[in-house]
Amino acid sequence: MTEAETIARWVNSGARVLDLGCGDGRLLKQLWQTRQAPGYGVEIDDVKVIACIHNDVNVLQMDLEDGLAAFADRSFDYVILSETLQAIHRQEPLMKEMLRVGREAIVSFPNFGYWRARIQIALAGHMPVSKELPYQWYDTPNVHHCTLVDFEALCAKLGLRILERVVLTNGNAVTFLPNLLGSLAVYRVST
């Protein structure tokens, strides 16, 4: 199972979707094709915005750090933040805004608590580099690394309910020791 398949399984047919940090729009295109879920993407990168247009995806060029004031309360069923949380400077306000404009939020991120990441720090003495964390420490767009435990603590602090969680490694669901054995976390949350 992939992250996109997990997200598609959670999105109801016909649901309105907002994808924050949507990249080239592939996920939104897939949600339209498989779930008939119309959506908008938000992306800051010029090249990725053009890729969205080529993928026939509605996209707005915005900086997520500025918030989501352009969107009305509850204007979407789902607001997705796919592997973007770690690149945001202020996660708390963004999480609150996501659940202001959407009924539910779907958030995914690379798990910094994954055993391979821990081993690289503990034994090799350097910041982890992997498929999920592909950058060197000096050129990474990731400004915050978190674990499943960290994200769940943030949800508790903000009073958010975790509706579902899927933890993946190489496309396989991880249920035993997920904070240690899972490389990617996908959460569905609401207020």
> CATH code at 24?
3.40.50.150
Domain presence at residue 122: no
**Selection from 11, 27, 5 nearest residue 104 by Cα:** 11
* Tokens representing residue 139 in the block: 């050129």
Would you call 170 exposed, middle or buried from its count of C-beta atoms within 10 A (0-12, 13-18, 19+)? Answer: exposed
pLDDT, tens digit (0-9, with 9 covering 90-100), for 44-99: 999 999 999 999 999 999 999 998 999 999 999 999 999 999 888 889 999 999 99
Q: How far apart are alpha carbons 32 and 19 in whole angstroms? A: 12
pTM: 0.91
pLDDT, tens digit (0-9, with 9 covering 90-100), for 116-169: 877 877 777 766 666 776 666 666 665 668 899 999 999 999 999 999 999 999
- Domains in the chain: how many in total? 1
Specify the pLDDT at position 86.
85
Domain presence at residue 133: no
> Domain containing 46: what range?
3-112+144-190
Domain presence at residue 40: yes
Q: How far is CA 139 from CA 12, 78, 91, 120, in A?
A: 38, 31, 21, 18
Domain presence at residue 41: yes
Specify the pLDDT at position 143.
60
Specify the pLDDT at position 145.
82
Domain presence at residue 36: yes
